Amino acid sequence: MTAAPTDSQRPRVAVVTRAARGIGRAVARRLVERGYAVVVTDLDGDAVRRTADEIGAAGWLAQDVREESSHARAVDEAARHGRLAVWVNNAGVGDDGTLTGVTSESVRRLVDVNLLGLLWGMRAAFGAFGPRGGDIVNIASASALGPVPGLAVYAATKAAVVSVTTSASVEAPRGVRVHALCPDGVDTDMVAAMRPDGPAKAIVHSSGRLLEVDEVAEAAVALIGSRRVVRTLPTWRSPLIRAGSLLPSQARGGFRAFELYGRRVMRRR
């Protein structure tokens, strides 16, 4: 009779949410290359199934992260393939607009997906990590670090992500590490869908270029196993954004300059 594999002998499993495309797909592909049995999830079941086939993922799941029970199903799918070692909360939406300019529907979607969905995922991962522990990687945003006109609600949800990451990293049991990655603007469908006449899209472009999804994926995967809790990408952008938090009443002129420069960058693109 063959003995059951010990916990250390079981394959390491990673769950990546909203992985059908963009950052999530790039993260999942890198984890597959690193030897993880990867479970990819997405609201679009057909798309995530195709992604799983194309990148060699171990499993896939159609998931609406707003539903707490969907994360339990992701845990069950992960358990079919080995020991849960990594959970990447990548699912998010980016409706842009001022606090009073976004619709009530958008406010609810931003909070439910970006924050509540992430909280459900973190709680599920905490409950599923075994004695060997694991890593939670939350994809936040540089907008979490200071004021970003035109992204008030989105930035608020991402600031909450950074906050819960830092608190949970202290609460976590030995062997469990919690990280937040705060990338600047990334060349994704989310940014492409922003209103071209709104301030948010221009400010996102004001860094000079948009990050590529592979750059973000590389940074996200690099956090696994590290002691780093919060990382901004690129690093130089963080002090500029944080400066707006120190003197918000005087930041209007600076952000107007960022917006004008970002529009020049957009025209060049």
Q: Which residues are annotated as catalytic?
A: 154
**Cα dihedral angle (18, 22, 23, 26), rounded to 10 degrees?**
100
Angstrom CA distances, 165 to 9, 123, 128, 170, stand at 29, 12, 18, 9
**CB 62: neighbour CB atoms within 10 A?**
16
Contact 153, 206 (CB under 8 A): no
Residue 99 exposed, middle or buried by CB count within 10 Å (0-12, 13-18, 19+): exposed
> Tokens standing for 225?
């196993």
Backbone phi, psi, residue 227, to 5°: -95, 0
Of 188, 180, 203, 181, the C-alpha closest to 259 is 203
Distance of CA 34 to the CA centre of its chain: 19
DSSP H helices in the chain: 22-33, 45-55, 68-79, 104-109, 117-128, 152-171, 189-192, 199-204, 213-222, 237-246, 252-268
**C-alpha–C-alpha distance, residues 136 and 14, integer Å:** 10
Please give the Cα distance from 177 to 228 (Å, whole number). 9
Distance of CA 163 to the CA centre of its chain: 14
